[in-house]
């Protein structure tokens, strides 16, 4: 009997792995994403303070009340198509979930310690699904996550310490069970990201315990990295247990605070990379790592030098285990004293515009060489520009696109061709060219020239 059970378990495991091999690997997905954009300050918008739950107090709590709370319009599929037509092939959709899981209603204060999380409200899950469909229907990759449930706001219930993990483990796993169940039939174009920027109880950025007394506590830091890895494992376990395509869906794990380890000003900067564990997973090659990047580009030469060092460290500590994406990146948008010296302030886009454009092109070029996908954080089309389908920063958008596709920019003739190995197709698929469908096998290389497929 034991031998039969063992044989059955081995057969099941081999079947799961066979299906996983049919599903696009994380490495292929990251390459095929090309360049992406974040639909930020939208489905991630929330009150952000347990003593000022203003959306819950002063609105009707419609999905649009949350979606527009931080100044963005209700998202339309036309906006997503605008990005697709420009050459972007992936959209990250940050989502904050706690406001839709039984928090206070018509009250300004929320006692988070007495919170009894409920199932996600159906209307919220339906809206998330609608926005995901906008992306998928345009043939793009989509990433959804658990966003401002992490971070440093008082409403952030997910923290990088083991006490917090033990308290919210069931809530976190149940949330991902709900999300994964809702989307389990979606194909490989949908990826899940377990959590956004998870911080310790001190609210430390850069590395764990940086905000602790003395700017470092080894025991606290070790506990934080342990908690991040525990949350990551719970995420993988919860998603895989829902079955369907989730048995081998590509999943994204972030480092502590999504830190990229850049800089040389502190000996602990690389700890988030070194301490990030690869979760146990029956589906091999379906995990990717994510970091974020917001460099100052006032000194363009140094920015490029620091970027090169960062990419080298990422290759050493992360890419030797899994593919990597920059799930958020952008150059500083902080206000700076303008160069006229008249007391007024400009943002970096005004004061260092050419640096910003030059660095964007450089960064995307370097990431493409390194097989890393990049997702710019907002800015390219924001606020009323989204509603009118207008580019807020058209020249920056062009720099990103040229950084990936070359100085001639994006043309639709490349659609349908895998980016995995130049123009090599890894598995049988359709190529659409001049309204004609050609089936390519997995061994041939094709390039499109004029009206001919060679």
- Per-residue pLDDT, averaged over 33-42, amounts to 98
Question: Tell me, what's the pLDDT at 350?
Answer: 73
For all residues of the chain together, what is the average pLDDT? 88
- Per-residue pLDDT, averaged over 411-435, amounts to 43
- Per-residue pLDDT, averaged over 118-127, amounts to 98
The yes-or-no verdict on residue 405 having pLDDT over 80 is yes
Helices marked H in 35-161 — which ranges?
A: 54-58, 63-67, 77-86, 122-137
The yes-or-no verdict on residue 434 having pLDDT over 80 is no
Q: What's the start-to-end Cα distance of the chain, in Å?
A: 57
Question: Tell me, what's the pLDDT at 210?
Answer: 98
- Per-residue pLDDT, averaged over 39-61, amounts to 98
Distance CA(129)–CA(139), nearest Å, equals: 15
The yes-or-no verdict on residue 425 having pLDDT over 60 is no
Tell me whether strands 141-145 and 90-93 are parallel, antiparallel or unpaired. Answer: parallel
Question: Tell me, what's the pLDDT at 35?
Answer: 98
Q: How many CB atoms lie within 10 A of CB 55?
A: 19
pLDDT digit string, tens, across residues 227-266: 999 999 999 999 999 999 999 999 999 999 999 999 999 9
Residue 337 pLDDT class (50, 70, 90 cuts)? low
pLDDT digit string, tens, across residues 152-201: 999 999 999 999 999 999 999 999 999 999 999 999 999 999 999 999 99
Residue 345 pLDDT class (50, 70, 90 cuts)? low
Q: How many CB atoms lie within 10 A of CB 265?
A: 7
pLDDT digit string, tens, across residues 288-321: 999 999 999 989 999 999 999 999 999 999 999 9
Tell me whether strands 373-377 and 141-145 are parallel, antiparallel or unpaired. Answer: unpaired
Question: Long-range CB contacts (< 8 A, 24+ apart) of 46-50?
Answer: 46/96, 46/98, 46/99, 46/148, 46/155, 47/99, 47/155, 48/148, 48/153, 48/154, 48/155, 49/153, 49/154, 49/155, 50/109, 50/110, 50/111, 50/112, 50/154, 50/155
**DSSP H/E element including 205:** none
The yes-or-no verdict on residue 427 having pLDDT over 80 is no
Check residues 440 and 101 and name the one with the higher pLDDT.
Answer: 101
The answer to whether 380 and 393 have CB atoms below 8 angstroms apart is yes
Task: Give the tokens for residue 289.
Answer: 């790592």
Question: Tell me, what's the pLDDT at 348?
Answer: 60
Strand locations in 330-428, DSSP E? 335-337, 345-347, 373-377
The yes-or-no verdict on residue 108 having pLDDT over 70 is yes
Distance CA(115)–CA(131), nearest Å, equals: 28
The answer to whether 193 and 145 have CB atoms below 8 angstroms apart is yes
| Domains detected in the chain | 26-420 (3.20.20.80), 421-454 (no CATH)
Q: How many CB atoms lie within 10 A of CB 115?
A: 17
Residue 413 pLDDT class (50, 70, 90 cuts)? low
């Amino acid at each position: 009997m034991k031998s039969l059970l063992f044989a059955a378990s081995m057969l099941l495991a081999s079947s799961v792995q066979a299906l996983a091999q049919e599903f696009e690997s994380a490495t292929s997905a990251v390459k095929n994403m090309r360049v992406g954009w974040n639909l930020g300050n939208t489905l991630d918008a929330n009150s952000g303070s347990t003593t000022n739950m203003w959306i819950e107090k002063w609105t009707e709590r419609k999905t649009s009340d949350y979606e527009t709370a931080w100044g963005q319009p209700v998202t339309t599929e036309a906006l997503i198509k605008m990005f697709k037509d420009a050459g972007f092939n992936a959209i990250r959709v940050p989502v904050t979930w706690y406001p839709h899981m039984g928090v206070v209603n018509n009250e300004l204060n929320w006692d988070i310690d007495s919170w009894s999380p409920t199932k996600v409200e159906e209307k919220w899950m339906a809206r998330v699904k609608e926005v995901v469909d906008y992306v998928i229907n345009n043939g793009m990759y989509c990433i959804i996550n658990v966003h401002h449930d992490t971070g440093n706001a008082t409403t952030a219930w997910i923290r990088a310490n083991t006490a917090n993990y033990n308290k919210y483990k069931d809530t976190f796993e149940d949330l991902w069970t709900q999300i994964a169940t809702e989307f389990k039939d979606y194909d490989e174009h949908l990826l899940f990201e377990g959590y956004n920027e998870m911080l310790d109880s001190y609210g430390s950025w850069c590395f764990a315990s940086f905000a602790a007394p003395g700017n470092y506590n080894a025991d606290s830091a070790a506990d934080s990295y342990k908690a991040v890895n525990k949350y990551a494992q719970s995420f993988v376990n919860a998603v895989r247990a829902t079955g369907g395509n989730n048995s081998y869906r590509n999943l994204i794990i972030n480092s502590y605070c999504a830190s990229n380890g850049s800089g040389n000003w502190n000996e602990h900067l690389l700890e988030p990379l070194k301490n990030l564990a690869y979760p146990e997973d029956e589906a091999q090659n379906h995990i990717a790592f994510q970091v974020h990047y917001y460099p100052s580009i006032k000194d363009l030469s140094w920015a490029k030098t620091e970027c090169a060092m960062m990419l080298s460290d990422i290759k050493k500590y992360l890419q030797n285990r899994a593919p990597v994406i920059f799930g958020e990146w952008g150059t500083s948008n902080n206000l700076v004293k303008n160069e006229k010296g008249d007391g007024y302030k400009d943002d970096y886009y005004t004061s260092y515009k050419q640096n910003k454009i030059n660095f964007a092109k450089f960064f995307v070029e370097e990431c493409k060489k390194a097989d890393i996908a990049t997702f710019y954080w907002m800015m390219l089309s924001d606020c009323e520009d989204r509603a009118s389908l207008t580019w807020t920063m058209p020249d920056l958008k062009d720099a990103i696109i040229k950084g990936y596709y070359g100085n001639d920019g994006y043309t639709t003739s490349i659609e349908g061709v895998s980016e995995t190995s130049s123009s090599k197709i890894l598995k049988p698929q359709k190529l659409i060219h001049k309204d004609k469908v050609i089936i390519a096998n997995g061994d041939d290389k094709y390039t499109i020239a004029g009206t001919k497929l060679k």
